[in-house]
Structure formats: structure tokens, C-alpha cells
Amino acid sequence: MEGVGRPDGDDAPGRCAYQGAPGAFSHEAVIDLRPWDEPVAYDSFEAAIAALKAGQVGCALIPVENTTIGRVEPAASLVETAGLTVVSEVWRPIRLALMAPAGARLGDVRTAESHPAALGQCTGALAALGIRPVEAFDTAGAARAVAEANDPARAAVAPARAAEVYELSILRNDIQDSADNRTRFVLLSA
């Protein structure tokens, strides 16, 4: 997939804000779509947008819609009211993986932590596995917390790349309820 270029056509290295921890879907999107930019992580959509408005970054890549759950909130509402320019948009496939500390087995897992939007994309799969969803601020942040806890009863729902970043084992790939699960990201500039 091609990168999402700057409005002025200048693709010199810059800084691109995203919400989440390293390994999150938004982090992946920045790396894949804007490889010339330094990805800059923020804990919330509000903080990523505020950084753009303050000139701390040159752009922000924010998810606003998903084919399974609809609007990604609060991101979509924040984008609508931010007064920023939507430079471009792209739909990206979203594949969710269930991951846990090394040595954990699927039968050990009691809870799965993730961002509410990601949990909403795999409610059927988690219910079928008898796993209780637990909301976290971010997909990769949940993976990091599960790795730090090192509890085989706790898993995370996150991109497969997060398992590599946080040294977790993937117990099941493609746990999203829809085979055509995609998210629309918008590139914002001030």
C-alpha cells in the first residue's frame, strides 16, 4: 500500500502522531503509510490531536470508522470538532490476535484486554471461547500490561506485531468476527 503523502507534496521526514503504544494498529499504519516519518505515540486521541494543534508534530493519523463496529469513538467526534484539515484517508484491514505470556494455553485464559473498539470487533469469538473482555486504553498497551503481569489467565487482543514487541505468544490469530474487518484512518494536518 502506498504512503499517505503530505498535502504540499514534500515527503521529507517529519513526525506523525498516533494514539496508542508501540505495536498498536495506529502505530502500524504510520509505519506502513508514512515510513519517512517518526511515529510519535500518545495515550489518547485528545493528546495526539492537541500535539498536532500545538505544532509538536506535523500530522496525525487517527482511526475514525470500522466496518464491524461503525464509528471509532471518541476519535471520530474529536476529528469532526478539531478544526483540522483531513488531508487523506485510507481503509486498512484489521486482523486481531489473542496473545498471552509464553507458556499460557488457550484453556488458561479467563480475560482478554484491549481497546473497546477492538473488543467490539471480536465479541462473538471471545464469547465462544468463554473469555471475558476487559477494556484498556489501547490494543498494544493491553499487550504490554499482559506481558508485564505474566499471568497465564490474562490475554490481550492486539495486532500480531504487538506480540513480537512485548514477547507474547499468539494463542489464536484472526479472532475478529468479520473476515472483512477494516478500519478507515484519516491523516490530519493543522
**What's the rounded mean pLDDT across residues 13-33?**
92
> Considering the domain boundaries, does residue 30 fall inside one?
yes
pLDDT digits (tens, 9 = 90+) for 46-79: 999 999 999 999 999 999 999 999 999 999 999 9
> Considering the domain boundaries, does residue 2 fall inside one?
no
pLDDT digits (tens, 9 = 90+) for 93-135: 999 999 999 999 999 999 999 999 999 999 999 999 999 999 9
- Identify whether the C-beta of residue 186 lies closer than 8 Å to the C-beta of residue 61: yes
This prediction has a pTM of: 0.84
Cα–Cα–Cα angle for 157, 163, 168, nearest 5°? 95
Residue range(s) defining the domain that contains residue 43 = 15-94+181-189
Mean pLDDT of the chain: 92
> Considering the domain boundaries, does residue 115 fall inside one?
yes
Q: How many domains does the chain have?
A: 2
CATH number of the domain where residue 162 is located: 3.40.190.10
User: Do 29 and 82 belong together in one domain?
Assistant: yes
> Considering the domain boundaries, does residue 1 fall inside one?
no
Return the SS3 of 87. strand
> Considering the domain boundaries, does residue 3 fall inside one?
no
